């Protein structure tokens, strides 16, 4: 429940640790308990508590019971003087998965099988949890997977629910969601009725990137993104790759799929084991109805 007041009354702000399209994130410390937290200050201004009701992030996080792989929301404030909406959240001091992959690539240190299994299991556990409580994230990407090393081994926590929605909420949804490289084909083709499978597509792309330390579909525009997907998975609309709804979506926006055959995934991700490739294939179906759920994936032989 958001209440009137400034987080500066209860917290000492130490430093800014992040700046995104929706707001800035600061490291802060509670003046009484000395607990270190992250304070996310939204860029959009809100005049009244009623205005904040349209903010999905605190509302959706309230729907989701605490989970070890999800960043916890402690409190939220609306400042009556500055009209700033602030969220007090769990502080993560280990950076994010994007930074970890960049560091591994720089030092030419690929993740081993055990590390890959551990990371993917935690990501899927987080997504399984939110989906089971009728929420999908819509912005799965390495930057939103934060790391905590406080107990020795890395704990991964899903963060930033600013674009998340309830599964039961009615479409149309916002068209532009998720970072392009991890965006599902139905979103690229401007579908307004997508759902939880968009999160699983993103996980497939992230898992492939964890294995190779290179993005799987690094598109430079939305059109280029679709081309890069088709270069690897083949083009919908033929006997090999069927996705009738996708062909309709493409026709609706005046887009014609390139005529490309799928590449063997083992040639694209040569250092992946067969069980890894099998998981990725089940995440990266064009047809969202064919993608595995997080629950199903967690029962795979890879784990």
Residue 126 lies in a domain: yes
Counted domains in the chain: 2
**What average pLDDT does this structure show over 17-43?**
91
CATH of the domain at 291: 1.10.510.10
Q: Which of 139, 148, 160, 199 is catalytic?
A: 139
Write down the pTM of the prediction.
0.91
Which of 90, 117, 150 marks a domain boundary? 90
Report how far apart, in Å, the C-alpha atoms of 264 and of each of 84, 215, 290 are. Answer: 51, 17, 19
Task: Tell me the per-residue pLDDT of 122-171, one tens digit each, with 9 for 90 and over.
Answer: 999 999 999 999 999 989 999 999 999 888 888 999 998 888 888 877 65
Residue 303 belongs to a domain: no
Give the integer Cα–Cα distance in Å for 32 and 284: 49
Answer whether residue 192 is part of any domain: yes
Region label for 34, one of left (φ > 0), alpha (ψ between -120 and 50) or beta (otherwise): left
Q: Hey, what's the torsion of the CAs at 115, 157, 26, 205, to 10 degrees?
A: 70
Sign of CA dihedral 110, 204, 182, 122: negative
288-299 average pLDDT score:
96
Q: Please give the share of the chain, as a percent, with pLDDT higher than 70.
A: 93
40 annotated as a binding-site residue:
yes
Mark whether 139 is an active-site residue.
Answer: yes
pLDDT in tens, 223-245: 899 999 999 999 886 656 677 77
Indicate if 79 and 112 belong to the same structural domain.
no
Per-residue confidence band for 172, with pLDDT thresholds at 50, 70 and 90:
low
Residues 68 and 184 in one domain: no
DSSP 252-296: HTT------PPPPHHHHSTT--HHHHHHHHHH--SSGGGSPPHHH
Query: Is residue 86 domain-shared with residue 175, that is, in the same domain?
Result: no
- Does residue 49 lie within any of the structural domains? yes
Measured at the alpha carbon of residue 148, what is the angle toward residues 142 and 154, in degrees to the nearest 5?
80
Read off the pLDDT of residues 55-109 as tens digits, 9 standing for 90 and up.
667 777 778 899 999 999 899 899 888 988 999 999 998 999 999 999 999 999 9
In terms of domains, do 86 and 105 share one?
no
For residue 44, what are the domain limits? 2-90
User: Is the residue at 236 inside a domain?
Assistant: yes
- The verdict on 82 and 119 lying in the same domain is no
Under 8 Å between Cβ of 177 and 183: yes
- Which two structure tokens, joined as six digits, stand for 237? 């609309």
Q: Are residues 122 and 233 in the same domain?
A: yes
Whether 272 and 162 map to the same domain: the answer is yes
């Amino acid at each position: 429940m958001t209440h009137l007041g400034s987080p500066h009354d209860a917290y000492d702000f130490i430093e800014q640790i992040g700046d995104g399209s929706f707001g800035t994130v600061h490291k802060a410390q509670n003046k009484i308990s000395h607990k270190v937290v992250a304070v996310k200050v939204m860029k959009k201004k809100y005049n009244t508590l009623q205005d904040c009701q349209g903010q999905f992030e605190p509302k959706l996080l309230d729907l989701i019971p605490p989970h070890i792989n999800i960043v916890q929301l402690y409190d939220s404030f609306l400042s009556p003087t500055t009209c700033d909406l602030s969220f007090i959240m769990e502080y993560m001091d280990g950076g994010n998965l994007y930074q970890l992959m960049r560091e591994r690539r720089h030092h030419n240190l690929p993740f081993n099988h055990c590390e890959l299994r551990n990371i993917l299991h935690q990501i899927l556990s987080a997504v399984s949890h939110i989906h089971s409580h009728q929420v999908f994230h819509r912005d799965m990407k390495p930057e939103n997977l934060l790391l905590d090393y406080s107990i020795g081994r890395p704990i991964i926590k899903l963060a930033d629910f600013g674009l998340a929605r309830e599964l039961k909420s009615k479409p149309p949804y916002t068209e532009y969601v998720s970072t392009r490289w991890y965006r599902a084909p139905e979103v690229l083709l401007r579908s307004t009725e997508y759902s939880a499978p968009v999160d699983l597509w993103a996980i497939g792309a992230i898992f492939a990137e964890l294995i190779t330390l290179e993005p799987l579909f690094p598109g430079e525009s939305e059109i280029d993104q679709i081309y890069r997907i088709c270069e690897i998975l083949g083009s919908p609309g033929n006997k090999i790759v069927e996705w009738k709804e996708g062909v309709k979506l493409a026709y609706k926006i005046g887009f014609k799929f390139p005529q490309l055959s799928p590449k063997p995934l083992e040639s694209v991700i040569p250092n992946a084991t067969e069980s890894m490739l099998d998981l990725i294939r089940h995440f990266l179906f064009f047809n969202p109805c064919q993608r595995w759920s997080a629950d199903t994936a967690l029962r795979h032989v890879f784990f």
